[in-house]
A and B are shown apart, each in its own frame.
Chain A
Amino acid sequence: MTLMDNRIHFASAPVSLSRRRFVQGLAAAAATGLTIQFRLAEGQPVPDLPAMIKRNPNLNAWVRIAPDGAVTVFTGRVEIGQGCLTAMLQIAAEELDVAPGRITLVSGDTAQTPDEGVTSGSFSMKLGGTALGHACADARGTLVRAAAEAWKVDASTLKVEDGSIIGPSGARMHYGEAASRVSLTRPVDPAARRKPASSQRIIGSSYPRVDIPAKVFGQPVFIHDLRPEGMLFGAIARPPAYAARVVSVDLAPIKAMPGVVEVVRDGSFLGVIARREEQARAAAEKLAAAARWDVGPALFAGKGVFEHLLNAPAEVKVIHETRGGALDVVSIRHKAEYRRAFQAHASIGASCALAQCADGKLTVWSHTQGPFSLRAHLAKALRTPEVSIRVIHAQGAGCYGHNGADDVALDAALLARAVAGRPVRVQWSHEEEMAWEPWGSAMIVRLEAGVAGDGRLTAWNHDVWSFPHSTRPGPSGGMEGCNLRSAWYLAEPLKASKPRDGALPNGAAGRNAVPIYAAASQRVTTHFLAEMPIRTSALRTLGGFFNAVSAEMFLDELAAMSGHDPVSFRLKNVRDERLVAVLSKAVEMSGWTPTPVSAGRKLAREMLGMGVGLSRYKNQDSYVAVVAEVSVDTASGAVRVLRMWSATDTGRSINPDGVINQIEGGMVQAASWTLLESGRFDVGIMKAVDYADYPIIDFTGSPKIQSALIDRPEMPPLGAGEGSQAPAGAAIANAIFAATGRRITEIPFTRERVLAALQA
């Protein structure tokens, strides 16, 4: 069963006719590799190995060639709906000169693939792709040299055609044969050389996503589609509050319910295993209701989260500082505060896992972003050695960060232990996911800046208050504690690892808090609250979205105060050419002629406005500018995003259509965050648990989008999957500001908040 051992083979992937022709064209282009230099010449300085290869140095950890020439490549990165596997396949096909359809790709399996940590933070192409590309280039060069030696010719005279090496007289040697003459079981060669961008044919093409046809025809793709022989269904009985613990519970009546095979109690962890999925859910609900719970203390001592953020003990740290300009000898000095609610991942499909305990071994199928870290934390929770656990990645619904994927794997494992030998699948309910997954942190940002008479920023201070943004399971041998939720509820509970804030340059609470604008004097301070009454973790971009949105809102206020339009004010203060390029492109596409925003203007019934957001994700990845056009109904407070334009520079893009898909998806998601999403909680638990209570954007709410990609084939690839959220949110916020002359300072911009700001 290919899905169960996670060997992904795309040779037979069905594609539509026009696509197929396109693909064959590409395959033909790839099939004849150009003659290129495989290895740096002696004496040339040897570059540093890619980071992921340093972690997994053996060549055969990345590429294997079977005696019959079959090619298998391995990646520790996993598919989370971002097109990662397709891009990896493109990279391997390009560097190996093998048609993509003939390559088998194995992804995210602790028994088979390299350990690349967690697939997150837009690192896949930058780190994983760079490593795989280097390893494949090494393999190709090695095989070609083996043939050259056999034929006693110069390697540079040889070509490769779809996995066959072609000699000067037309002699052919397929990769399998060449591989039998050399060993790929050796460290990757730092001097191996990848193809220059100018001779790449598959990298840089919009190769169709290899996983899409199966998803369109209902073939088994998802973890939810695994149905091994004898599988049972599990469900968890959830406490009424996060701090709640079981006082007493009678399991007997639940055991007697239809279809129930086993009821599990370990401290306050309560679960049910049943023959049918709906029977397991019904029994778990009954069990939760039947238990007597001590609900524990109230969240935030019954106060609001923002009050808590500002007043609870925090680690205060200046994470970035430059000196030069002054705040007081300026023509304009301005201060503002912005707030964002808790926001959820809210996947369409709730988290799911399948676990089986057999012969002292535990196998877990999971849509985790970090199979090796999950294994490490499962071992802690189950008090069993890591070697007895295998985690195999299988796809889930899009996760957008750290949702319940890892937690549900422990739930399934705890239940599977109770019915040894039988596989148990657990899929959380949507309500369970919303209440029990880690949320994106509520945040506060305060900004203060000075502008000189010529419109240049002199000083810029950014303070951010935040809960943790990364409480994922960590690597083996890493921090103390266990970050799988149910471990905290066991009879012998484990503690969560002590959360730490991520340091720059990536940053977590402080991600994107360093301004992209050239104020001489800059200071960024994080106020990090490690204690989190509502558990928080990575939501796509971590703190980056809100830090950058706040800064962009603030910048437009400064522009308005100094009589500048938003674009010329940015141009005055931005130094990076690539930022200028995306800004100019997005503005040009939108046809917008920006004018200075007049604050507090007279209201009409419907007001239209355009605004811009500019960002460089993590100050080191993709450059993205977004222009948005909104209409504001001043009677109801309703905001509609009518259209958006984006321009992106992601360096060398492996798959341009894949990048655009991510960028535009991120813009729609950001519109949803910005206008609609807010986690409502009561004294003990999140209450916004269905789509009525936690609405997300729909079709009529989604803007029309036009996007441009500024390709820079000569530049290294930059992370793109999270590049557009902040500029999109900022563009919407600034368009509302331009339309109405009023600033709404708390995200989401609900009708009530918009009305309140208009009436103020």
Chain B
Amino acid sequence: MTELFVNGRKVRVEVPPGTRLIYVLRNDLALNGPKLGCARGQCGACTIHLDGIAARSCQISIEAVQGRSITTLEGLGTPDRPHPVQAAFIAEQALQCGYCTNGMIMQAAALIAAKPSPSEAEVSAMMNANLCRCGCQPRVVRAVMKAAGRTL
């Protein structure tokens, strides 16, 4: 039995040693936010926050997150209390299929927390390892800038 701290709650799961966090979050805990993309750390679709820092849940084993605080998209904000980045993504309609969106929002939220008023170039640079095949990069940049404006 492994104890995890996810979105402010303690949960217990029984999974084989070495299991990647993405599978636990999605399949054991039925969370939909983190998406399984490349499973190789190349796309960012699986991004979560680990103690407030963006991390790729496809690259992290369950043992590595013992005693640490995990936040997924579900824990970032809700329709009633959206995180500024979530609100900005809706306002800017910053997605098409939305498969990359979890990673974009989680990466951006961590970015803004670390650097509250980034320049456009800094946003591009810090989002660079999150891939979007629908070509929504310009809109995502706009949404992140908008969210940063709000948090100033």
In contact, B42 and A691 (Cβ under 8 angstroms): yes
Contact with A along B41-70 (1 / 0, CB 8 A): 011010000000000000000000000000
Contact with B along A426-451 (1 / 0, CB 8 A): 01011000000000000000000000
| Residues in B neighbouring A395, C-beta threshold 8 A | 97
Is A81 in the interface zone, CB < 8 Å from B? yes
In contact, A81 and B96 (Cβ under 8 angstroms): yes
Q: Chain A's nearest CB lies how many Å from the CB of B118?
A: 12
Q: Which of B12-47 contact A (CB under 8 A)?
A: 15-16, 19-20, 23, 26-27, 30-33, 35-40, 42-43, 45
Known contacts: A227-B30, A398-B96. The answer to whether A217 contacts B135 by CB under 8 A is no
Is B149 in the interface zone, CB < 8 Å from A? no
In contact, B90 and A212 (Cβ under 8 angstroms): yes
Q: Which residue of A lies closest to B124 (CB)?
A: A699
State how many residues of chain A have any CB contact under 8 Å with chain B: 68
Contact of B20 among A218, A278, A698 (CB under 8 A): A278
Contact of A212 among B45, B98, B133 (CB under 8 A): B98
A279 to B28, CA, bound (A): 14
| Residues in A neighbouring B95, C-beta threshold 8 A | 81, 212, 215-216
Contact of A348 among B90, B129, B132 (CB under 8 A): B132
Is B3 in the interface zone, CB < 8 Å from A? no
A279 to B134, CA, bound (A): 31
A208 to B89, CA, bound (A): 11
Q: Which residue of A lies closest to B140 (CB)?
A: A699
Is A664 in the interface zone, CB < 8 Å from B? yes
Contact of B128 among A82, A259, A696, A700 (CB under 8 A): A700
Is B112 in the interface zone, CB < 8 Å from A? no
A579 to B32, CA, bound (A): 45
A665 to B37, CA, bound (A): 20
In contact, A81 and B97 (Cβ under 8 angstroms): yes
Q: Which of A13-29 contact B (CB under 8 A)?
A: 14-16, 18-19
| Residues in B neighbouring A702, C-beta threshold 8 A | 124, 135, 137-138
In contact, A430 and B38 (Cβ under 8 angstroms): yes
Q: Chain B's nearest CB lies how many Å from the CB of A277?
A: 5
Is B99 in the interface zone, CB < 8 Å from A? yes
Is B115 in the interface zone, CB < 8 Å from A? no
Q: Which of B74-104 contact A (CB under 8 A)?
A: 74, 77-80, 82, 86-87, 89-91, 93, 95-102
A235 to B80, CA, bound (A): 39
In contact, A81 and B87 (Cβ under 8 angstroms): no
Is B145 in the interface zone, CB < 8 Å from A? no
Is A211 in the interface zone, CB < 8 Å from B? yes
Is A666 in the interface zone, CB < 8 Å from B? yes
In contact, B99 and A661 (Cβ under 8 angstroms): no
In contact, B128 and A81 (Cβ under 8 angstroms): no
A703 to B95, CA, bound (A): 17
Contact of B32 among A218, A279, A398 (CB under 8 A): A218
Is B148 in the interface zone, CB < 8 Å from A? no
Is A347 in the interface zone, CB < 8 Å from B? yes
| Residues in A neighbouring B137, C-beta threshold 8 A | 668, 697-699, 702
Known contacts: A19-B90, A218-B73, A398-B134. The answer to whether A349 contacts B39 by CB under 8 A is no
In contact, B27 and A277 (Cβ under 8 angstroms): yes
| Residues in A neighbouring B78, C-beta threshold 8 A | 217
Q: Which residue of B lies closest to A665 (CB)?
A: B135
In contact, A80 and B97 (Cβ under 8 angstroms): yes
| Residues in B neighbouring A427, C-beta threshold 8 A | 36
In contact, A218 and B74 (Cβ under 8 angstroms): yes
Task: Place the interface of chain B in its size category.
Answer: 35 or more
| Residues in A neighbouring B140, C-beta threshold 8 A | 699
A345 to B97, CA, bound (A): 14
Known contacts: A16-B82, A700-B128, A702-B138. The answer to whether A215 contacts B133 by CB under 8 A is no
In contact, A217 and B79 (Cβ under 8 angstroms): yes
| Residues in A neighbouring B45, C-beta threshold 8 A | 348-349
Is A500 in the interface zone, CB < 8 Å from B? no
Contact with A along B106-130 (1 / 0, CB 8 A): 0000000000000000011101111
Is A222 in the interface zone, CB < 8 Å from B? yes
A15 to B93, CA, bound (A): 11
In contact, A397 and B128 (Cβ under 8 angstroms): no
In contact, B97 and A690 (Cβ under 8 angstroms): no
| Residues in B neighbouring A19, C-beta threshold 8 A | 90-91
Known contacts: A347-B99, A700-B125. The answer to whether A213 contacts B90 by CB under 8 A is yes
In contact, A667 and B35 (Cβ under 8 angstroms): no
* B31, B72, B102, B138 — most chain A CB neighbours (10 Å): B138
Contact with B along A655-669 (1 / 0, CB 8 A): 001000110111111
In contact, B35 and A349 (Cβ under 8 angstroms): yes
In contact, B138 and A705 (Cβ under 8 angstroms): yes
In contact, A218 and B79 (Cβ under 8 angstroms): no
A464 to B31, CA, bound (A): 48
In contact, B105 and A216 (Cβ under 8 angstroms): yes
Known contacts: A668-B138, A691-B43. The answer to whether A661 contacts B93 by CB under 8 A is yes
In contact, A221 and B32 (Cβ under 8 angstroms): yes
Known contacts: A211-B98, A277-B23, A348-B45. The answer to whether A218 contacts B132 by CB under 8 A is no
In contact, A220 and B32 (Cβ under 8 angstroms): yes
Q: Chain B's nearest CB lies how many Å from the CB of A638?
A: 16
Is B131 in the interface zone, CB < 8 Å from A? yes
Is A225 in the interface zone, CB < 8 Å from B? yes
Is B4 in the interface zone, CB < 8 Å from A? no
In contact, B77 and A398 (Cβ under 8 angstroms): no
Known contacts: A216-B90, A220-B32. The answer to whether A278 contacts B97 by CB under 8 A is no
A14 to B91, CA, bound (A): 12
A662 to B95, CA, bound (A): 10
Is A544 in the interface zone, CB < 8 Å from B? no
Known contacts: A278-B23, A700-B128. The answer to whether A657 contacts B93 by CB under 8 A is yes
| Residues in A neighbouring B136, C-beta threshold 8 A | 661, 665, 668
Q: Chain B's nearest CB lies how many Å from the CB of A591?
A: 19
Q: Which residue of A lies closest to B31 (CB)?
A: A218
Is A258 in the interface zone, CB < 8 Å from B? yes
Q: Chain A's nearest CB lies how many Å from the CB of B109?
A: 12
Contact of B40 among A15, A657, A690, A700 (CB under 8 A): A690
In contact, A346 and B43 (Cβ under 8 angstroms): no
Is A575 in the interface zone, CB < 8 Å from B? no
| Residues in B neighbouring A227, C-beta threshold 8 A | 27, 30
| Residues in B neighbouring A175, C-beta threshold 8 A | none
A662 to B38, CA, bound (A): 24
| Residues in A neighbouring B16, C-beta threshold 8 A | 258-259, 276, 279
Q: Chain B's nearest CB lies how many Å from the CB of A229?
A: 12
In contact, A669 and B134 (Cβ under 8 angstroms): yes
In contact, B138 and A430 (Cβ under 8 angstroms): no
| Residues in A neighbouring B123, C-beta threshold 8 A | 699
| Residues in A neighbouring B100, C-beta threshold 8 A | 348
A-B contacts, 11 listed (Cβ < 8 Å):
A14-B82, A82-B96, A83-B96, A211-B98, A212-B89, A217-B86, A218-B102, A233-B27, A258-B16, A668-B137, A691-B38
Known: A218-B73, A664-B138. 11 other contacts (CB 8 A): A14-B82, A211-B98, A212-B95, A348-B97, A396-B97, A397-B133, A398-B97, A398-B99, A698-B131, A698-B137, A699-B140
Q: Closest 7 interchain pairs by CB?
A: A81-B97, A668-B135, A14-B79, A218-B33, A215-B98, A398-B97, A665-B135
